[in-house]
Amino acid sequence: MYQQIFKHVFSKMDPEKAHHLVHTGITVVGRTPILAGVIEGAFAPYLTRGEGVRVFGRRVPAPFGLAGGFDKDAKAVRGLNMLGFGFVEIGTITAQAQPGNEKPRMWREIEMQALRNRMGFNNEGADVAAAQLHRLRSTPKGRSIFVGVNIGKTKLTPAEEAAEDYAYSARLLAPYADYLVVNVSSPNTPGLRDLQNVDALRPILSAVREAADAATDAVNKARVPLLVKIAPDLADDDVRAVAQLAKELGLAGVGAVNTTINHELGPGGLSGKPELERGLEVVRILRQNLNPEHVIIGSGGISTAQDARRYLDAGANLVQGYTGFIYNGPLWARKINRALLGL
């Protein structure tokens, strides 16, 4: 049924308008407790039953989650959880609200089962996201959802002030996060990927770590695991250098990978099936160069449970996707997680 809806309705709509329509629907249903509970009970009873998987020393209900980019302002977390995602990563969130790049800025590459975007971190800012997360965490169900928070640099912030920009977001959002991700790998903010250089990255990660620790200490919360998300376009030696920096700074792990600019389709980063093989290779390199306790969240090109399993076999602890959600519909997370959990 979903394939017919996609073919005859969504594929004929502007991709960003279709996204807002679906996001709004998921948000509304997720904020209606009776509906959300019924859907979760039908789609994903495994979220509240069974052992799940152990990551960061805690139970994550299922290993497959939603990647950052779909829910930029933390408004649809409950609704996304009811669809069967084991965890939800929100963002990317910047310190200041920003509209993102001019439109059009999202394109479907249907024959490739891919998306291309140059959104530019459009979001309502860290203060708004913190308020949304406070609302979520004020309920027992909201506290039980495993939520990652992905933070990026405000476009207008000069590179030399990036550390404090990231730290501002971390200070506000860490008390509500089950893990924090520093995003320095989107291709759609000018100069952002230059921050993946270890010399530029070190002060940013140190500032975020200090800000997150101070914020969580203030609310008697355990230290929030901190990860950095990298691009698939890094050279192998640069991937190894990031792994060494993660060990040096005591990071919890690395997210791999973001969208790729290694294509000739037009502006923006490409996500979806074309990323799969490089994403797997980056995860293998990271696992070879990180310690066993370091967590790798693998993403890029996951469409099926078999794709997700390949990431886990390559060394990832958790896996996540976004583009496949667009092409496969509301039962996608349920299907993958049931397979990974052996249900």
Binding-site annotation: residue ranges: 72, 92, 117-121, 150, 183, 188, 229, 257-259, 272, 301, 322-323
Number of Cβ atoms within 10 Å of the Cβ of 148: 25
Cβ distance 207 to 171 under 8 Å? Answer: no
Based on the residue annotation, tell me whether 11 is a catalytic residue of this protein: no
CA dist 25 and 171 (Å) reads 31
Binding-site annotation: residue ranges for FMN: 92, 150, 183, 229, 257, 272, 301, 322-323
Cβ distance 128 to 172 under 8 Å? Answer: no
C-alpha distances (whole Å) from 40 to each of 32, 296, 334 are: 12, 27, 10
Cβ distance 168 to 139 under 8 Å? Answer: no
DSSP class per residue in 177-206: -SEEEEE---TTSTTGGGGGSHHHHHHHHH
Binding-site annotation: residue ranges for substrate: 72, 117-121, 183, 188, 258-259
CA dist 273 and 112 (Å) reads 7
Pick the catalytic residue from 186, 271, 299, 303: 186
Task: Please provide the size of the chain in residues.
Answer: 343
Q: Which residues of 311-337 are buried (b: 16+ CB within 10 A; e: fewer)?
A: bbebbbbbbbbbbbbbbbbbebbbebb
Give the residue numbers annotated as catalytic, written as ranges.
Answer: 186
